[in-house]
Structure 1
Amino acid sequence: MSKRVVLTVSGVIPADIREQIASGKRPRADYLELAQSFDADLLDYAAARTITGRTGAVLERFGGPNLLLAFACWKVRKRYQAIVTDGEQVGLPLATFLRLTPGRRPRHLMIVHVISEPKKMVFLDWLGVQSTIDRFITYSRWQQRFIEDRWKLSRDRVPWTPFMVDQEFFAPQRVAPSSGTRPQICAVGLERRDYETLLQAVEGLDVRVVIAAASPWSKRTEGVATRSVPNNVTVRKYSQYELRQLYLDSCFMVMPLENVNFQAGVTAILECLAMGKAVICSRVLGQTDVVVEGENGLYVPPADPSTLRTEIRRLLSCPEEADRLGANGRKLIECQMNLDLYVKRMTGFLGGAIGGEGP
């Protein structure tokens, strides 16, 4: 018997992913946990290519693999009660296909990362595809308010959930600290990072700075584009397994962001907090839903190396304060922003969409 839900994965699911998770080499995958809770089929690029054949190959050449994935969802739509798309890169083209197709359709729940870009807003402003999106599931309250205000949608159509981390994998007790006498801080990720500001802030400080400039979700290939890197700074790529050690060995993490209106850096922030470490974060519109000033971290103005340098030096000189902030961060993960609670919330959104009335 067909399952009632299909969930997209914007990528190719590794064949050995369950073995990697079972052996402790990587955290649990959110899509596997969601698929189990939803009783859902997973649809990734590889499966989409099989389903769509030659037509899909043409669409992929024309519009990329996410258009292919949206078309595959459209092709199998009659088998399911609901389709959950893992981002607007798939959800918006699927909503367009559904809008152009007469007759009954499955419920469509779309996870939203950043929909406020002009090229994405065209789908809603001009094509009116919001009529075929039953839930816009947001991670950023700024994005939630933007969607509600611009397209006059009710709050139940635009639920918010905090993002999450696998609190069992990213846990201090899972790793032994490395030996070392020089204090260390870290910065992690690629998407919309302002590493130039960080480099200016830490130059000449008596602290080792490790920048893990790599991300599986970012289109960028280099995270630090600058003419010179200070002698106390190391830049390299880390696996998720290695990141866990990096967080534990650091006094705290710095998240230097460009002035964005979406949750850039949220994965690294949550991973760091889960490891019991504080975060110094740029105060930007999109990244205000996790770090709480004076409770689990600190905010600094974006593009302000002088203030960032002052806060780094202050927190390095107060290790008890850094420990307090980090311990509160771990509590936040355990109580609100972990993978298991995320799956429960998402399952509730799905149940509400399938059981409720259409938009």
Structure 2
Amino acid sequence: MSALPLRPRVLYVRTEGRSTVPREERRRRELSGATQRRILIEESFGFDLLGASDLAALPGWRGRILRRLPAAVALAFEVARRRGDYDVVVTWAEKYSVAVAGVLLWHRHRPRHLAIMDWMSKPVVRIPLRLVRGGVDEILTWSSTQARVATERLGFRAEQIVRIPHPVDDVFFAPADGARRTIFSAGETQRDFATLMYAVHGLEVPTVIAASLVGVFTGFRTRLVDASSMGELPANVEVRAMDAQELRRAYADAAIVVVPLVAADNNAGISVLLEAMSMGRPVIVTRTAGQHDVVVDGVTGLYVPPGDPAALRDAIRRLFDDPAAAEAMGRRARADVLAHHRADDFVARIREVAGMPAERVEEVRRA
């Protein structure tokens, strides 16, 4: 593949999630500080953007056909059509990365493909990715476990794996005054809220879980379960959904943030961990095969074994009974986020890997 120009042309295939809020409204909310920045961060890459909503604006028969296809497939075909316009394509999310790799594999002259992925081991990704790995030039991942999966099980060379930090909006999730009287937990993937409920049963501490439907991976697919039905609900536990402002307030009010996980090899819980740490809160997290890269045990948080309510209860008591030590741990957690996980540093790293010039990266912090 020929060398990249001084300023490569980069296309970023963006994920838009399940939100029904129009992109411009989400962008307005982010600019106002009402919610954490996602759209503003992806725009700060300085790349051309392509997402499912962009396909809605495509005219003629091509637009009508693409809109009938699954989003990942439609975006992959559109990337293939535009392949001559770009030097680099960046994808984020396994299904998009696999689909784009599959179509690029058939083209001799194609852009360099950088795939940001963090759960390659699950069969619905691992099997097709192994078949189309020739359509991926480099994998960018923050998971040491998944980096090994890429080389040991998928056939990628070590030099094709680039470790990057997982970002967090360290401005939106900044330290704030709060009551510091609750145990707080949140999340929607691979959570073990039943163990948390059992661990806090009988404690005279309010426990708040921000969740509605939780995804539980069953080997080949993910099923959704009601978070409040995952265990017997003690009198001191409240389970409810929260918007971004409520979530930030709940972190601020928490004495401890707990991220209970089922045993798995993906790094489930990383967003909640970093949000809590960014707000200067001490964290307790289940150590799993996939979740062990972020917390420094005893320094920025505590690890507990999977499915062990007694160990979790002991860890909660340890921090709750020594608020000074818990606050010191939270301050170290915030310092770690600023050193390794800032959103603007993440943007700079992605631009660097994509071959963008080493000029000052546009600031993604809110003025």
With normalisation by structure 1, the TM-score equals 0.88
Out of 6, 9, 26, the position equivalent to 2:35 is 26
Alpha-carbon distance in 2 for matches of 1:72, 1:15: 23
Tell me: CA distance 1:27–1:187, structure 2 relative to 1, closer, same or farther (3 Å). Answer: same
How many Å apart are 1:217 and its aligned residue?
Answer: 9.8
Classify the secondary structure of the residue corresponding to 2:172: coil
User: 313, 319, 324: which is aligned to 1:320?
Assistant: 324
* Aligned equivalent of 1:240, options 239, 244, 252: 244
Distance 1:105 1:263 in 2: 32
| Aligned-partner Cα distance in 2 for 1:26–1:245 | 12
Query: What are the ranges of 5 or more consecutive residues in structure 2 without an aligned counterpart?
Result: 1-6, 217-221, 357-367
Residue 8 of structure 1 is matched in structure 2 by: 13
**Which residue of structure 2 lines up, in the alignment, with residue 95 of structure 1?**
101
Cα RMSD over matched residues? 2.4
Alignment map for 1:71-82 (pairs within 5 Å): 71-82=77-88
* Residues 78-227 of structure 1 aligned to structure 2 (within 5 Å): 78-101=84-107, 103-125=108-130, 127=131, 129-172=132-175, 175-178=176-179, 183-214=181-212, 220=224, 222-226=226-230
Which residue identity is paired with 2:41? E
Structure 1 residues 189 and 8: alpha-carbon distance in aligned structure 2, compared to 1, 3 A threshold: same
Change (3 A) 1:186 1:146: same
CA distance, structure 2, for counterparts of residue 32 and residue 47 of structure 1 = 17
The 1-side partners of 2:348 and 2:101 are apart by 25
Once the two structures are superposed, what CA deviation does each residue of 1:246-271 show, in whole Å capped at 9, x if it has no partner?
A: 11110010100011111101111000
TM-score (normalised: structure 2): 0.86
- Superposition map of 1:209-358 within 5 A: 209-214=207-212, 220=224, 222-226=226-230, 228-351=232-355
The answer to whether the 8 A contact 2:44-2:347 is kept is no
Residue in structure 2 matched with residue 357 of structure 1 by the alignment: none
Q: Distance in 1 between the 2:12 and 2:172 partners?
A: 24
- Identity among equivalent positions (%) equals 34
Aligned residues: 338
Say whether residues 1:57 and 2:67 are aligned partners: yes
Higher alpha-carbon deviation: 283-292 or 225-234 = 225-234
- Structure 2 CA distance for aligned equivalents of residues 338 and 8 of structure 1: 22
Q: Which portions of structure 1, spanning 4 or more consecutive aligned residues, are displaced by more than 6 angstroms?
A: 215-219
Assess, with a 3 A threshold, how the Cα gap between structure 1 residues 349 and 115 changes in structure 2: closer, same or farther: same
- Tell me the secondary structure at the aligned position of residue 248 of structure 1: helix
CA distance in 2, matches of 1:5, 1:338: 22
